[in-house]
Structure 1
């Protein structure tokens, strides 16, 4: 039987695709299911890019749902009958909390051994794919560098009255930051002073936002001067939106959040879920997200293909025990939401 050049070409492509899929399947000892369901806090544009690349490489369809601040509660609510296979995004403190509730299955991707132990679970239940520093920043057209805060404790000083705007507790980075700041006081046996600091900061806060874009718009319109955010969002708004923003290298350090990924226990598509973990945390994908979305990688080998600022911006990392925070974060944030937030405005 004779084959045309076209048929030979098609057979070559098919074999190559089967080889790729076979490598993933061999790595996990199973064939893939037809789809993988991913719950995430990442933006839809970023998710679409990862999903499209994964489907192109494996042939597995990705159904993703962006749940933002509701991600953990959704996974909890579905514990008896999981509807998702993978949890992708949200900080390590959330993953540690959900691991303790028995919501994840252990799964060790090939790249896990090459990331810093700070970025992964010691028992292989979750792994960091993005490291996210949270820094204070300010509008340089409102404040000069000498007038800007030098450390987090400065945010409670009277001179910053109505100059602050922040995210509310629906933001996972805000939750992590508020509780990381409290932990600094707790370690010195001064948790009550930590709550007083947050009350002082609240008294200076003009408004809390449920949206990061609205927060940056307020800073850009000079409705306030100071806030905190993940570093990549500050860089995005400074470069793309031409905002006059400057970051603060806080004297006591800045929280560094690790955005993670994990396989959900009882997943209906476990082989596809494991393959998605392998793919989403690979150096290729980490570098892709760094270039397209300014997400700092956890894999050292990915840094060589990343934007220059990821190596140039200097900041001191705050000493945070994220494992210890996972057991108190929910209670602390409930207290923050009911007793601290807007307490200076409603007479609490």
Structure 2
């Protein structure tokens, strides 16, 4: 049977309509709204993968916005009239801070009981979907293992003058790391020593970068030898970009950030929001992100389907009270930004 161009066009339009209608019917049958709005710190490629997979499975359209370090402030600013349904990404300290302000609604995904208590709120206000170790590392073409720092305290040693480059406080991982280090001094009632340590680190820092890619480019160009970053970024640059990077198992341990997900209180699409939380934290999606983006899962059952290094790499975990840190992180980072960052260059 032959079809005219007009018939072919009409059939194409009809098929497109049926596919769209089918998605809407699937969402309606599941009792879900037709869309869900997600605010996130994750990169767009990763968000697109999760969004496409969620829409394929549920028929719900995902509208997402990448807000990086401004995510918490945006959710807070919209408290009276939430524009998003789900907060996806950012460290657990930010979730605990916003939870304390009544910005989240509790929910319990099917996998909730299988996650280590370290990676979730006991009352179900947020859950960790990715565990993100932050490790020091160095360019082994510039520095030998015996000359590299052995612990975070070494970063203030004058021998490393102009050998350090770091992220600025807009990076959620940098905020979490700087404040986790300060907390170690706070516990000993030595906050003055903690600020002095950070000033020493700043004196050795050649430059702060607004993006991780620029930081790794600087290390690759041998502009500096030492930095810290989330482990998956180090592995990415070592394997994919063939950079001569070596991680440091810090003597006092390394902070492990939990990237979370939560349902926003007063969400306009609560059913779709809950479904997205369920989906994004599932073992299937955690393994998918592990293989595509080197994100380490929080669900133990996901590890069997993840890259081998995630099970093999060993590092000491720093003892950090992320709940206590949530209450002071903003104030500490304001002080870091105004009194510490580039203070050696400004003559402060």
- Class of the TM-score when normalised by the shorter of the 2 chains: over 0.9
Supply the distance in 2 between the matched residues of 1:245 and 1:188 (Cα, whole angstroms). Answer: 33
C-alpha contact 2:131 2:256 (8 A) present in aligned 1: yes
1:33-72 correspondence runs (5 A): 33-72=33-72
Preserved contact between residue 21 and residue 57 of structure 1 (Cα < 8 Å): no
Q: Does 1:102 align with 2:106?
A: no
Structure 1, unmatched stretches of 5+, are: 1-12, 26-30
Which sits farther off after the overlay, 184-193 or 54-63?
A: 184-193
- C-alpha displacement at 1:191, in angstroms? 1.1
Alpha-carbon offset, residue 19 of structure 1:
11
CA shift, 1:75, in A, is 0.5
CA–CA separation in structure 2 for the residues paired with 1:199 and 1:107: 42
Where has structure 1 moved over 2 Å in runs of 4 or more? Answer: 16-23
Contact kept, 8 Å, 1:249 with 1:316, in 2: the verdict is yes
Distance 1:127 1:134 in 2: 19
User: For residue 89 of structure 2, what is the aligned residue in structure 1?
Assistant: 89
Residue 110 of structure 1 aligns to a residue whose secondary structure is: coil
Map of 1:331 onto structure 2? 331
Query: Aligned-pair distance for 1:18?
Result: 9.9
Matches within 5 A, 1:203-282: 203-282=203-282
Residues of 2 paired with 1:74 and 1:127: CA distance?
20
Does structure 1 retain, via aligned residues, the 8 Å contact 2:27–2:33? no
Partner of 2:186: 186
Cα distance, 1:18–1:268 mapped onto 2, change above 3 Å: closer
CA RMSD between the two structures? 1.6
In the alignment, the residues of structure 2 paired with residue 226 and residue 172 of structure 1 have an alpha-carbon distance, to the nearest angstrom, of 19
Aligned to 1:10: none
2:320 aligned with 1:320 = yes
The equivalent of 2:16 in structure 1 is: none
The equivalent of 1:304 in structure 2 is 304
The alignment of Structure 1 onto Structure 2 pairs a total of residues equal to 329
Aligned to 1:79: 79
Ranges in structure 2 where 5+ consecutive residues have no aligned partner: 1-18
Aligned mates of 1:171, 1:117 — CA distance in 2: 25
Deviation digits for residues 211-249 of structure 1, max 9, x if unmatched?
000000000000000000000000000011110000000
Tell me the TM-score normalised to structure 1 length. Answer: 0.92
3-state SS in 1 of match to 2:52: helix
Offset at 1:264?
A: 0.4
Q: TM-score, normalised by structure 2?
A: 0.92
Q: How far apart in 2 are the matches of 1:311 and 1:279? A: 23
Tell me the CA shift for residue 22 of structure 1.
8.3
